[in-house]
Copies of this chain bind each other. A is one copy, B any other.
Amino acid sequence: MRPDDANVAGNVHGGTILKMIEEAGAIISTRHCNSQNGERCVAALARVERTDFLSPMCIGEVAHVSAEITYTSKHSVEVQVNVMSENILTGTKKLTNKATLWYVPLSLKNVDKVLEVPPVVYSRHEQEEEGRKRYEAQKLERMETKWRNGDIVQPVLNPEPNTVSYSQSSLIHLVGPSDCTLHGFVHGGVTMKLMDEVAGIVAARHCKTNIVTASVDAINFHDKIRKGCVITISGRMTFTSNKSMEIEVLVDADPVVDNSQKRYRAASAFFTYVSLSQEGKSLPVPQLVPETEDEKKRFEEGKGRYLQMKAKRQGRTEPQP
């Protein structure tokens, strides 16, 4: 991990880690989908399940990324990726991330055509059944997020501190050759890195301290972003608990040189950030003041997600019967 991978306090950006995770996922799923004779293809990221950042990574540490295919449906591949940080001077290793990603194989001749996935071989029979349940659950959830697509982040003049308008931020990026796969669309990992960058700016503006990514909610990639697009990544704070902030990030793609195609929503997700003191202890977060009806509605929804996740975590730490 190099200086450019990290913030001023030396903590590696969550987006850098997400980018590495996606690169590993893209390699293993592209390799799997081409493992049988047939039409050549490239795997495109469709969804990342909710993922927690379990411990911070620092400049100078070595990141270990390992990936495994855990389920295949007819047209999609589920990949499990683990990230470990290693301090090569002390030898200490820590698990920093576990992530689950879904890919679909697109034909190299026509990237709008989805190909079939060769079935993976399971070591235990139940693995297939468990995988199918995860597949159905994510399919359902993808449907539900579609309604959010029309929403847009609008700038507001002279907003008050601690309001949503005060910290909301947008970033515009012209897609270049190094953002893209060899087949002309943007790597999912590049998009996630930009999403984390915007979420980090929103969080820093809100609490004016050193902030780090704590978790990312499921990210759905509604559509490919092709080269030649301008992408707008917008972030706004939706909810704060005592020690965490939830930021919604929306990604819109705008084909500049091709006005036959309209601007479209390419991805969206919720990022959770925490604020850290100079000693790395988590700090209280200034409470968000939702103003409009929409902001209040989003705050309640965020609170719902927060309480649900808290309950899940507590459930996990209780003794098993």
Binary interface encoding of chain A residues 176-208 relative to chain B, with 1 for a CB under 8 A from any of its CBs, else 0: 111010100000000000000000010011001
Residues of B within 8 A of A204 (CB): 88-89
A161–B41 CA distance with the chains assembled, in angstroms? 43
Binary interface encoding of chain A residues 59-84 relative to chain B, with 1 for a CB under 8 A from any of its CBs, else 0: 11010000000000000000000000
Contact across chains for A30 and B256 when beta carbons are under 8 A apart: yes
Residues of B within 8 A of A108 (CB): 257
Judged by a CB distance under 8 angstroms, whether A317 is at the interface is no
Judged by a CB distance under 8 angstroms, whether A34 is at the interface is yes
A26–B175 CA distance with the chains assembled, in angstroms? 12
- Closest residue on chain B to residue A32 by CB atoms: B256
Binary interface encoding of chain A residues 229-264 relative to chain B, with 1 for a CB under 8 A from any of its CBs, else 0: 010000000000000000000000010111100000
Known contacts A88-B204, A89-B208, A257-B108; is-contact A230 B59 (Cβ 8 Å):
no
Judged by a CB distance under 8 angstroms, whether A282 is at the interface is no
Residues of B within 8 A of A26 (CB): 174
Residues of B within 8 A of A205 (CB): 88, 91
Interface residue stretch chosen among A1-9, A44-52, A303-311: A1-9
A177–B91 CA distance with the chains assembled, in angstroms? 34
Residues 1 to 59 of chain A near chain B (Cβ within 8 Å): 2-4, 7-8, 23-24, 26-27, 30-31, 34-35, 37, 40-42, 59
> This chain: how many copies in the complex?
3
Judged by a CB distance under 8 angstroms, whether A209 is at the interface is yes
Judged by a CB distance under 8 angstroms, whether A90 is at the interface is yes
Taking the closest CB of chain B, its distance from the CB of A41, in whole angstroms, is 7
Judged by a CB distance under 8 angstroms, whether A227 is at the interface is yes
Known contacts A208-B88, A228-B182; is-contact A31 B201 (Cβ 8 Å):
no
Taking the closest CB of chain B, its distance from the CB of A31, in whole angstroms, is 5
A2–B27 CA distance with the chains assembled, in angstroms? 29
Contact across chains for A31 and B228 when beta carbons are under 8 A apart: no
Known contacts A4-B3, A40-B258; is-contact A27 B230 (Cβ 8 Å):
yes
Of the A-B pairs whose beta carbons lie under 8 Å apart in the complex, a sample of 21, sorted by A's number, is A2-B3, A2-B4, A3-B3, A4-B4, A7-B60, A8-B60, A23-B174, A27-B172, A27-B256, A31-B230, A34-B259, A35-B259, A37-B259, A41-B257, A88-B205, A91-B205, A176-B182, A177-B177, A177-B178, A182-B227, A182-B228
Q: A34-B259, A177-B178 are in contact. List 7 more A-B contacts (CB 8 A).
A: A4-B4, A27-B256, A31-B256, A34-B256, A37-B259, A88-B201, A178-B178
| Interchain residue pairs A-B with the least CB separation, the first 4 | A178-B178, A3-B3, A88-B204, A177-B177
